[in-house]
C-alpha cells in the first residue's frame, strides 16, 4: 500500500501547529511521521510565525534545517524546547552554538536529536 505523502505532510503540519500554539501547546510532543527538509522548514516557520530565515522561539531559525544532509527525514518535536529527530549522523553538518544541542539519542537506530534551548 502506497502512502499519500501529501496527506501525511498535512497531518504532521496540523499536529505541529497545535503543539506550538500558545493556547494548546504540548511540551512533550513528537510528530507521528517524518517529513522532508523542505516540508519541515515550512511547517516550523508557520508554527513559529516567522519567515524561514528569522529566529523564532529559543532562537531557532527554520532554515538551519537546510544544513542537514540532502534527503534527511525529520521528525518534528517539542520537548519543552524546539526539537527535531533526524535519521543519520548529523553532528558534523549542523554546528551547535549557545542555543543548540546535539546528541545521539538512539545510536543503534542511527537517530540524532537536535534541540534549541
Predicted confidence (pLDDT) at residue 108 exceeds the cutoff of 60: no
What pLDDT, on the 0 to 100 scale, is given for residue 8? Answer: 93
What phi, psi does 57 have (nearest 5°)? -50, 130
Higher pLDDT, 100 or 44: 44
What proportion of the chain, given as a percentage, has pLDDT over 70? 80
- The helix or strand, by DSSP H or E, that contains position 48, with its residue range, turns out to be helix 37-48
Give the span between the Cα atoms of 22 and 76, in whole angstroms.
17
Whole-model pTM?
0.86
What are the sequence ranges of the domains in the chain? 5-116
Given a cut of 90, whether residue 48 has pLDDT beyond it is yes
Task: Determine the pLDDT at residue 112.
Answer: 82
User: How far is the first Cα of the chain from the last one, in angstroms, to the nearest whole number?
Assistant: 40
Confidence of residue 95 (pLDDT cuts 50, 70, 90): low
| 99 — pLDDT class (breaks 50, 70, 90) | low
Q: What tens digit of pLDDT does each residue of 54-92 get?
A: 988 888 899 999 988 888 999 999 998 899 999 866 766
Amino acid at each position: 500500500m502506497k502512502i499519500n505523502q501529501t496527506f501525511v505532510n498535512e497531518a504532521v503540519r496540523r499536529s505541529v501547529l497545535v503543539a506550538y500554539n500558545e493556547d494548546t501547546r504540548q511540551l512533550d510532543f513528537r510528530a507521528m511521521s517524518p517529513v522532508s527538509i523542505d516540508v519541515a522548514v515550512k511547517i516550523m516557520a508557520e508554527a513559529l510565525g516567522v519567515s524561514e530565515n528569522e529566529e523564532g522561539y529559543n532562537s531557532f531559525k527554520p532554515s538551519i534545517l537546510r544544513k542537514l544532509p540532502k534527503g534527511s527525514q525529520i521528525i518534528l518535536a517539542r520537548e519543552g524546547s524546539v526539537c527535531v529527530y533526524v535519521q543519520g549522523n548529523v553532528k558534523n553538518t549542523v554546528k551547535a552554538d549557545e542555543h543548540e544541542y546535539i546528541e545521539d539519542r538512539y545510536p543503534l537506530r542511527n537517530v540524532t536529536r537536535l534541540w534549541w534551548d
